[in-house]
Amino acid sequence: MAISKYFVVLILAALAGVPPAAAGNTPTTAKTILVFGDSLSAGFGINQDAGWVNLLQQKLRQNHPDYRVVNASISGDTSLGGRNRIAQALAAQRPAIVIIELGGNDGLRGLPLGDMEKNLSAIIVASQRTGAQVLLVGMMLPPNYGPDYVGEFFTVYGTLARRHRTAYLPFLLQGIATRMELIQDDGIHPKAEAQPLILDNVWPVLEKLLAPPRGG
């Protein structure tokens, strides 16, 4: 099956780091959406302008110009890495919304899910304490990890979303992960052609958190 090829290579791939960057030039008075994730949000292997985070900025310019996007995603990051850097990111950006897209690398490395849950919870709590709204983005693991671990991994995200009352997208790559024509040759990262589809998954959930445009 195509999904097994995607996930087997995903497990073996080594992820390179991508430094945080702001997506596009917007007025400093704009409210900030902080995207806090790993390679799937960092735009690994494609032109940064084609990544879903940059496409989000373009969409906001048209529909919600009061917002700007800052991409603080780092390829290969884990929930612990995110926990260790969230305070600095929040202090620097003072976001109105934080999109948390982390945990996939924890699962692929077989790390304890209890630790992942604690780390993600700490990131959510730190974000909410600043007054930011949170959108938690979930991931899914391949079936070869076993039904118990796969099921428990997926459940972590829903449990956290309910506990902390965050907005929730269960699977970032819904409708994409099994379509190998949309995946790069490394078998892990979505191609540029897949990025609009990722945004299509994120937008309906995110839009509910956005304040009406000024004058709208």
Q: For 94-186, where are the alpha helices, taking DSSP H only? A: 104-108, 113-129, 147-164
Locate 7 and state its tokens: 């996930």
Which one-letter DSSP state was computed for residue 31?
Answer: E
Tell me the per-residue pLDDT of 172-193, one tens digit each, with 9 for 90 and over: 999 999 899 999 888 788 999 9
**pLDDT tens-digit readout, 17-57:** 334 444 444 445 789 999 999 999 999 999 989 999 999 99
CA angle at residue 120 from 198 to 52, to 5 degrees?
15
pLDDT of residue 212: 81
* pLDDT tier at 214, thresholds 50, 70, 90: low
Is the pLDDT higher at 211 or at 7? 211
Of the residues 49, 115, 186, 200, which is catalytic?
A: 186
- Note if 164 is an active site residue: no
When pLDDT is cut at 50, 70 and 90, the band that residue 126 belongs to is very high
CATH topology classification for 2-207: Rossmann fold (3.40.50)
Please report how the helices 79-93 and 113-129 are oriented relative to each other, as an axis angle in degrees rounded to 10. 10
Q: Provide the pLDDT confidence category of residue 113 given band limits of 50, 70 and 90.
A: very high
Residue type, 74: I
Rounded CA-CA distance 19/114 in Å is 28
Q: Tell me if residue 189 is catalytic.
A: yes
The DSSP-derived string for 51-105 is SHHHHHHHHHHHH-TTEEEEE---TT--HHHHHHHHHHHHHHH--SEEEEE--HH
pLDDT confidence of residue 182: 96
Q: How far is CA 50 from CA 47, 56, 190, in A?
A: 5, 10, 11
What's the one-letter identity of residue 129? R
Domain residue extents for the chain: 2-207
| Sign of the torsion formed by the C-alpha atoms of 169, 167, 33 and 103 | negative
Distance (Å, rounded) from C-alpha 99 to C-alpha 205? 11
Tell me if residue 186 is catalytic: yes
Q: Which one of the listed residues 38, 39, 41, 66 is annotated catalytic? A: 39
Question: What mean pLDDT is predicted for residues 46-71?
Answer: 95
